[in-house]
């Protein structure tokens, strides 16, 4: 479809609200702008919804089937997610129960189960034709005890491993999942004396792992050391006076992981699933109710600087949202107020809208774009130029709360 034809097909949201937004052909226009990218980031304004997962499933399937995307990366730890990686490869036994619990709880939804099952069937079919399977992997760095295990299994194999294991010992890197959880909680609470050893700060630990990683070419070793470098850096900075720096350290590790995984697999065309603020390309033109968020350098910033137009960030937003977080007494629902971007998009009367342009310089409230809700329903609202943070926005009128293979539950 030509640009002129697209322009003729677009509907105005409200007076002076938007210069371009798709109507019924949103999915086709998405493919027009996304098909040539090397990496497409698909976000969600809040975790623990089935509605966003269903939208992301449909868009990702089109990218796989029509544009040759063969790597899907989920915001969850890589080694923990290996059962799912093996499951979709269509070479492991059909043991879904072993794959499902390996993700962060916010991703343990029925829709994720559907996608993995679809990917397994897709891979079985393409294997018969000699085609390329789709790889599904995690890429988060919050699995320090598993990274430690990788190093211990390689003890004595290289100078880099020995240096990394020395840092593991000095920094008292946890050896179990429970120990890691306690370590993190102590750090976020600011109890730094509980997470230091021999007066060596966590930041010194992060730098030690950085030195141990220098020159490493083996992908598995690189990823293990990267996990420890980013994890200790995240906790060192996050427990200090500027929590924003902790998030930036985590996202630096996410970016390193994405690069290493793609390089290991031959740099395939990739879809990244994450929260909106991980995939966003810039936070500079957005004001938040939590001021520490503005200007953060996140995963999307780094990918945009490296890839330019070959990285495409699509933020997912909605007018009515229901979430189902662990610890909630029941689903939490909210809708956006009159005058917000989401409210203006809803007024179009379309279930889905792809927003590709908005009036330059107009600042809008977009409450769900970077919302973070927990059991008490606390929210972070934002005001600014939405398309300064994303290449496009995928709007749906409403998204339902998360459901699980065993049925809906929030606790």
DSSP per-residue codes, 286-337: EEESSGGGTT---HHHHHHHHHGGGEEEEEEEEEEEEE--TT-SS-EEEEPP
pLDDT averaged over every residue in the chain: 81
Task: Say if CB 82 and CB 281 are below 8 A apart.
Answer: no
Model pLDDT, residue 11: 31
Task: Say if CB 157 and CB 212 are below 8 A apart.
Answer: no
Model pLDDT, residue 1: 31
Half-sphere exposure in the Cβ direction for 213 (13 Å, CA) = 23
Q: How far apart are CA 185 and CA 377, in angstroms?
A: 21
The strands making up 364-365's β-sheet, listed across from edge to edge, are 286-288, 382-384, 364-365
DSSP string of 6-52? HHHH----STTT-SEE--TTHHHHHHHHHTT-SEEEE--SSSSBHHH
Closest CA to 76 of 274, 235, 215, 248: 274
Task: Say if CB 370 and CB 296 are below 8 A apart.
Answer: no
Task: Say if CB 251 and CB 275 are below 8 A apart.
Answer: no
Q: How many CB atoms lie within 10 A of CB 166?
A: 12
DSSP string of 106-151? GG--HHHHHHHHHHHHHHHHHHHTT-PPPEEEEEE---HHHHHHHH
Q: How far apart are CA 383 and CA 324, in angstroms?
A: 25
SS3 assignment, position 361: coil
Query: 176-233: per-residue pLDDT in tens?
Result: 999 998 888 877 766 555 454 433 478 899 999 999 999 999 999 999 999 999 999 8
Model pLDDT, residue 66: 96
Q: How far apart are CA 15 and CA 217, in angstroms?
A: 55
Query: 284-303: per-residue pLDDT in tens?
Result: 777 666 555 666 788 999 99
Distances (CA, A) of 354 to 30, 346, 347: 7, 12, 14
Which tokens belong to 347? 């007024």
Q: What is the CATH number of domain 3-69+272-399?
A: 3.40.1660.10
27 burial (CB, 10 Å; 0-12 / 13-18 / 19+) is middle
Model pLDDT, residue 386: 76
In sequence order, the 6+-apart residues with CB closer than 8 A to the CB of 251 are: 278, 296, 297, 298, 299, 302
Q: How far apart are CA 321 and CA 399, in angstroms?
A: 5
Q: How far apart are CA 55 and CA 57, in angstroms?
A: 5
For tokens 């021999």, name the residue. Answer: 198
Q: How far apart are CA 12 and CA 19, in angstroms?
A: 7
Query: 71-96: per-residue pLDDT in tens?
Result: 999 999 999 998 889 889 876 666 55
115-124, 154-163, 289-298, 359-368: lowest mean pLDDT where? 359-368
| 12 vs 239, residue with greater confidence | 239
DSSP string of 224-264? HHHHHHHHHHHHHHHTSS-HHHHHHHHHHHHHHHHHHHHHH
State which H helix or E strand residue 273 sits in: strand 270-273
In sequence order, the 6+-apart residues with CB closer than 8 A to the CB of 343 are: 319, 336, 337
Model pLDDT, residue 252: 93
Q: What is the DSSP letter of 282?
A: -
Query: Which pTM was predicted?
Result: 0.88
| 8 vs 345, residue with greater confidence | 345
Does residue 110 register a pLDDT over 90?
no
Query: 192-208: per-residue pLDDT in tens?
Result: 554 544 334 788 999 99
């Amino acid at each position: 479809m030509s640009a002129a034809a697209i322009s003729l097909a677009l509907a105005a949201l409200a007076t002076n609200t938007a210069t371009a937004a798709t109507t019924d052909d949103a999915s086709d226009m998405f493919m027009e702008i996304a098909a040539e990218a090397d990496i497409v980031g698909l976000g969600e304004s809040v975790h623990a919804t089935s509605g966003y997962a269903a939208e992301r499933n449909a868009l990702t399937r089109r990218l796989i089937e029509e544009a040759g995307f063969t790597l899907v990366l989920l915001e969850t730890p890589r080694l923990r997610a290996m059962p799912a990686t093996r499951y979709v490869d269509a070479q492991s036994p059909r043991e879904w129960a072993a794959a499902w619990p390996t993700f962060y709880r916010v991703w343990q939804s029925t829709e994720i189960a559907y996608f993995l099952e679809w990917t397994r069937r897709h891979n079985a079919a393409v294997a018969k034709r000699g085609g390329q399977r789709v790889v599904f992997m995690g890429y988060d760095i919050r699995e320090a005890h598993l990274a430690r295990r990788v190093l211990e299994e390689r003890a004595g194999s290289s100078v880099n491993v020995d240096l990394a294991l020395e840092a593991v010992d000095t920094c008292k890197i946890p050896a179990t999942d429970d120990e890691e959880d306690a370590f993190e909680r102590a750090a976020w609470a600011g109890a730094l004396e509980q997470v230091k050893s021999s007066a060596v700060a966590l930041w010194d630990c992060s730098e030690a792992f950085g030195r141990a990683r220098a020159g490493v070419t083996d992908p598995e070793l690189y990823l293990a050391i990267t996990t420890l470098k980013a994890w200790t850096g995240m906790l060192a900075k996050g427990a200090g006076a500027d929590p924003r720096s902790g998030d930036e350290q985590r996202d630096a590790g996410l970016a390193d992981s994405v690069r290493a995984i793609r390089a290991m697999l031959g740099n395939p065309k990739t879809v990244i699933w994450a929260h909106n603020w991980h995939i966003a390309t810039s936070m500079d033109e957005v004001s938040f109710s939590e001021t520490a968020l503005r200007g953060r350098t996140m995963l999307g910033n780094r990918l945009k600087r490296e890839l330019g137009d070959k990285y495409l960030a699509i933020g997912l937003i909605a007018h009515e949202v229901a979430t189902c977080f662990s610890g909630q007494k029941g689903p939490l629902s909210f809708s956006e107020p009159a005058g917000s971007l989401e409210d203006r998009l809803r007024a179009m009367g379309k279930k889905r809208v792809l927003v590709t342009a908005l009036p330059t310089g107009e600042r809008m409230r977009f409450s769900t774009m970077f919302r973070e809700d927990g059991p008490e329903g606390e929210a972070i609202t934002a005001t600014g130029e939405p398309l300064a943070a994303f290449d496009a926005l995928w709007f749906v009128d409403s998204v339902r709360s998360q459901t699980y293979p065993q049925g809906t539950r929030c606790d």
